[in-house]
Every structure is written in C-alpha cells, then in structure tokens.
Amino acid sequence: MAHEDAPTAILAEDEPVLARTLSRMLAQAWPELRVAGVADDGLRATEMALAEAPDVLFLDIRMPGRSGLEVAEVVADEWPDERAEPLFVFVTAFDEFAVTAFERAAVDYLLKPVTAERLQQTVERLKARLAARADRPAAGERAALMQRVQSIAAPPAATGERIKVIRAGVGNVVRMIPVADVVCFEAADKYVNVVTATGEALVRMSLRELMARIDSTDFLQVHRSVMVNANAILSATRDDIGHYSLAVRGLPRPLKVSRAFSHLFRPM
C-alpha cells in the first residue's frame, strides 16, 4: 500500500531498457516518489496495481497480455473503496495528434522517447493533482473514470442502421432476438453472450460495438463486461463486505456488480 508520506507508483513497460530509463528519470525528477514495482506485461501490471494501490500508474499503451488502456479500465473498476482514485499517465509511441483523447482519462501522456523536460512537466501535474485529491473517491467517481478510459478505445459512432433484433448463431440455427427481450449482455473475449429468459447465444462483436448500435437506452453498465436491462432488475443484495449482486428476471444466477458501479444500488 502507498505510504501517506511518500507517493508511490507502478511502471508498466514491456521493453526492459525503456523501463529502466523511465525509472532512472523519475528518480531524478521526483526523488520522493517510491516505485513499488515494474511490470513487463498488462496482466502483471493489473495485479501489481490492485495489490499495491499506488498513487500513480505509468502505463505503456501497447503491452503483451493487456494494453495500457485495458489495464486502466480494469484497475478503475476494481479499485479498493477506501483508496483515492489512481492517477494514470499513458506512455506511447503514437504521435501527438493520435493521443489527445487520452487526456480525457489521464493526468498526462508521454511520448516515446521520453525527455527529461517533458517528464518534469508530468511530475508537476501529478504533484498538483495529488495535493488536491480527496482521500477517497466520491460515489460514482470510479465509474466515471472507467467510462472515460473506455471511451478512448470505443469504436466510432455507428452510422448504419440501428439494431432492433439481434441475429445470433446457435449451431445451424440463427436466432432472432429482439433487443427488448435481452436480460443482459456479457463480454467474452471477442464475443458477446446475449442472455434472455429462454437461453443464451454468442455474437461475434465486441460489447462496445454492440452497445453503440443497439436501438435501446434501457441497458445499464454494472461491470466492465456486463450490461443489464434495467427493466429486468428485481433486486440488489449487499454482502458483508459491501459488494452487490443483482437478481434479474429470467436469470437463475445472480449478476455481480463491480465496486465502480455499486453506488447505483445504494438506498436512496
């Protein structure tokens, strides 16, 4: 865990030389910062971030296992309730015009190769944000953070016909599923599991792509990989450690609500 008197950071970079260089430059630009760990892939970066709960994450955009954007999305979703939200800095080889959107979700971004002058600007921004940051996130703050991260990688706005009926292949049969009959959508790698009261079916499309095209505003995000039909939610049950699960009409199993979205189900 981060110490109150010393800010901490996790670095995620799959190129060892670049990781060592960034560590050395940070030590010069921000001597008080304690680097709690260096990860060489996205999965390890996620594990380290959730275990250490650092103040700052420096995330390479392109990494094995999970991209920096995906790491930020998972971390924002699973961040501990008692900790202030993490500050993200994306590190990328993309040109400046391609990364301006990152500023919506990040304190800053760094272009490779990182220069000492540019890193010093980032350090000053981080110090200012840390000084102004609340001790713990307000209700809905993590959900907003995660949705900002998701918006960076979201597909362009759909211009084609809106989807009112989903065509899902089940063996040799194509099921025609009205969007209104869907209980929930669950992301599963490159597919979306379309769940109704009468069964489940996979469509080969990302959850973001599907949600950008469906002709409905009834779906509520309750987890980074789950959208649920608000009209089908029967109740929300809170366990002893503050996690919620949903009872949904037509679904025999509960749906987990991630910490980022638990504020949606707290009593009024």
DSSP code string of 204-236:
SS-HHHHHHHBS-S-EEEEETTEEEEGGGEEEE
Confidence at residue 8, expressed as pLDDT on a 0 to 100 scale: 96
Question: Do residue 18 and residue 144 come from a single domain?
Answer: yes
Q: Is 44 within a domain?
A: yes
Q: What is the CATH number of the domain that holds 36?
A: 3.40.50.2300
Q: What are the residues whose beta carbons fall under 8 Å from the beta carbon of 48, sequence distance 6 or more? A: 10, 36, 37, 39
CA nearest to 74, candidates 99, 98, 109, 39: 39
Question: Do residue 174 and residue 254 come from a single domain?
Answer: yes
Question: Do residue 94 and residue 13 come from a single domain?
Answer: yes
Question: Do residue 62 and residue 94 come from a single domain?
Answer: yes
Confidence at residue 97, expressed as pLDDT on a 0 to 100 scale: 47
Pairing type for strands 173-178 and 182-188 reads unpaired
Q: Residues of the chain with pLDDT > 70: what percent? A: 84
Tens-place pLDDT, residues 79-138: 877 788 889 999 988 765 455 556 556 788 888 889 999 999 999 999 999 988 866 666
**Residues 195/254, Cβ–Cβ less than 8 Å:** no
Tens-place pLDDT, residues 246-255: 999 989 999 9
Spatial separation of the C-alpha atoms in residues 187 and 147, rounded to whole Å: 15
Residue ranges making up the domain that contains 178: 165-265
**Whether the predicted pLDDT of 153 surpasses 70:** no
- Number of structural domains the chain divides into: 2
The last residue of one of the domains, among 94, 120, 153, is 153
Least confident range of 35-49, 71-85, 155-169: 155-169
pTM: 0.69
**Residues 154/212, Cβ–Cβ less than 8 Å:** yes
Confidence at residue 189, expressed as pLDDT on a 0 to 100 scale: 75
Question: Do residue 216 and residue 144 come from a single domain?
Answer: no
**Residues 102/94, Cβ–Cβ less than 8 Å:** no
Q: Which is more confidently placed, 110 or 1?
A: 110
Spatial separation of the C-alpha atoms in residues 164 and 212, rounded to whole Å: 12
Least confident range of 121-130, 156-165, 225-234: 156-165
Confidence at residue 3, expressed as pLDDT on a 0 to 100 scale: 45
Question: Angle 32-73-257 (CA atoms, 0-180°, nearest 5)?
Answer: 120
Confidence at residue 137, expressed as pLDDT on a 0 to 100 scale: 62
What mean pLDDT comes out for the span 142-160? 61
Least confident range of 150-159, 208-217, 238-247: 150-159
Q: Residues of the chain with pLDDT > 90: what percent? A: 48
**Whether the predicted pLDDT of 1 surpasses 50:** no
Q: Is 3 within a domain?
A: no
Q: Is 190 within a domain?
A: yes
Question: Do residue 110 and residue 130 come from a single domain?
Answer: yes
**Residues 89/69, Cβ–Cβ less than 8 Å:** no
Confidence at residue 154, expressed as pLDDT on a 0 to 100 scale: 56
Per-residue burial over 160-187, b if 16 or more Cβ lie within 10 Å, else e, is eeebeebebeeeeeebebebebbbbbbb
Tens-place pLDDT, residues 179-208: 999 999 999 878 999 999 998 999 998 888
Terminal-residue alpha carbon distance, the chain: 33
The last residue of one of the domains, among 153, 173, 189, is 153
Question: Do residue 55 and residue 129 come from a single domain?
Answer: yes
Confidence at residue 134, expressed as pLDDT on a 0 to 100 scale: 64
Confidence at residue 151, expressed as pLDDT on a 0 to 100 scale: 63
